[in-house]
Amino acid sequence: MKLSSKSSPSQPGDAALNPVDFVLLASQIKQWGRELGFQAVGITDTVLDKDEAHLLQWLARNRHGEMDYMQRHGRKRSRPAQLVPGTVRVISVRMDYWPEQGDTAEQVLDNPLQAYLSRYALGRDYHKLLRKRLQQLARRIEQQVGAFGYRAFTDSAPVLEKALAQKAGLGWIGKHTNLIDEKGGSWFFLGELFTDLPLPVDAPATPHCGTCQACIDVCPTRAIVAPYQLDARRCISYLTIELKGAIPEEFRPLIGNRIYGCDDCQLVCPWNRFAQTSREADFMPRQQLDTATLLTLFQWNEQTFLDSTQGSAIRRIGYHSWLRNIAVALGNAPGDKAIIAALEDKLDYPSDMVREHVSWALDRHRTARR
């Protein structure tokens, strides 16, 4: 991957004609970023030594589980100039996603008949939207300085996004390992432009978790094994989204009604009192996923699943993992007749994994009745 250097016709602001005022340009980039819908924009260099050491230790302990892509790229993940030669600065951006909701996250979590999906996944997939806006930001910069080298990323390449954002001043990595902004909480996505422009850098954000450890205490599966250290293999987000095979039995009862990702550690974080609701239409709930019951979603056939999740991140887990996750949640729900009948209906389903999770759920109800 190389920095793309787009040639455009010379214009009054062209770097070749006028020396660029990088201090002015940095403040213009922040202004344009805000106009494009980013809540924060910061700039950093490419040195991530400490984070690299933590990443290597995390990988050495196998905390990434089956996420092979986390170790596939050598040190490129922590060395932006190795990933994209020529990179000297990273422009880091944040976009809030907390959507308006019919039922609140807490209401859904408290009702074992309802399906809890991570709030980030209720609307359209964020990847396209963020990349498009980053491209627009790059074009605005290009109009000002002429052709320059850049690449846009959002969760799309080996990039240590949170570490870069922390260095760019967008917030600190909390004990739950998500990035938090003092005024905006943590319900946001990150994206970045790698660039060859020698822009002035921002001051890194400082940590403000203090003595709090609410996220560690609330985590249903004890996945935050120490402050700032997540064992992904225990995290419900990993178990319901990234893991392809069977969910280890020890975690199934702890998953409750969470069928796609988990937000508990962020819901409890005091800094999210300051979070704002997103104004992006793309992030608003689709298919009534904010109020849906487990039974309704379990009864979607494969075609309904594919149609209903078009353009959503959920589609990527595939129909079998979808059924697997809901079967676990139905095993954790009170066993009324309708639930037992729906589970029994899938006992012959042509997937070993689905059948095994359905049997587990039925066994739970049988044991509960004894």
Which stretches of the chain bind ligand SF4, using CB under 6 A? 174-176, 209, 212-215, 219-221, 223-224, 230, 235-237, 262, 264-265, 268-271
209 touches, from ligand B12, ligand SF4, none (C-beta below 5 to 8 Å by class): ligand SF4
Would you call 246 helix, strand, or coil by DSSP? coil
CB of 242 to ligand B12, least distance (A): 5
- Residue 207: burial class (beta carbons within 10 Å; 0-12, 13-18, 19+): middle
In the annotation, is 290 catalytic?
no
214 touches, from ligand SF4, ligand B12, none (C-beta below 5 to 8 Å by class): ligand SF4
152 touches, from ligand SF4, ligand B12, none (C-beta below 5 to 8 Å by class): none
Q: In 3D, which of 335, 342, 344 has the Cα closest to residue 298?
A: 342
CB of 187 to ligand SF4, least distance (A): 12
Rounded CA separation 260/243 (Å)? 11
125 touches, from ligand SF4, ligand B12, none (C-beta below 5 to 8 Å by class): none
312 touches, from ligand SF4, ligand B12, none (C-beta below 5 to 8 Å by class): none
Site residues (vs ligand B12, CB under 6 A): 51, 54-55, 58, 67, 70, 118, 120, 154-155, 159-163, 173, 176-179, 186, 188-190, 228-230, 232, 235, 237-238, 242, 261-263, 265
CB of 245 to ligand B12, least distance (A): 15
13 versus 220: smaller Cβ distance to ligand SF4: 220
Rounded CA separation 264/272 (Å)? 12
Rounded CA separation 212/291 (Å)? 32
168 touches, from ligand B12, ligand SF4, none (C-beta below 5 to 8 Å by class): none
83 versus 239: smaller Cβ distance to ligand SF4: 239
- Give the Å distances, CA to CA, from 110 to 107, 256, 341, 357: 5, 10, 23, 23
CB of 236 to ligand SF4, least distance (A): 4
209 versus 330: smaller Cβ distance to ligand SF4: 209
- Residue 91: burial class (beta carbons within 10 Å; 0-12, 13-18, 19+): buried
182 versus 344: smaller Cβ distance to ligand SF4: 182
Residue nearest to ligand B12 according to CB distances in the complex: 261
CB of 217 to ligand SF4, least distance (A): 9
Would you call 3 helix, strand, or coil by DSSP? coil
114 versus 237: smaller Cβ distance to ligand SF4: 237
141 versus 259: smaller Cβ distance to ligand SF4: 259
Q: In 3D, which of 28, 42, 35 has the Cα closest to residue 144?
A: 28
Find the catalytic residue in 14, 45, 103, 155.
155
CB of 244 to ligand SF4, least distance (A): 18
Task: Please state the length of the chain.
Answer: 370
Q: What is the DSSP string of 269-323?
A: -GGGGGPPPP--GGGS--TTTTT-BHHHHHT--HHHHHHHTTTSGGGGGHHHHHH
Q: Which residues are catalytic?
A: 155
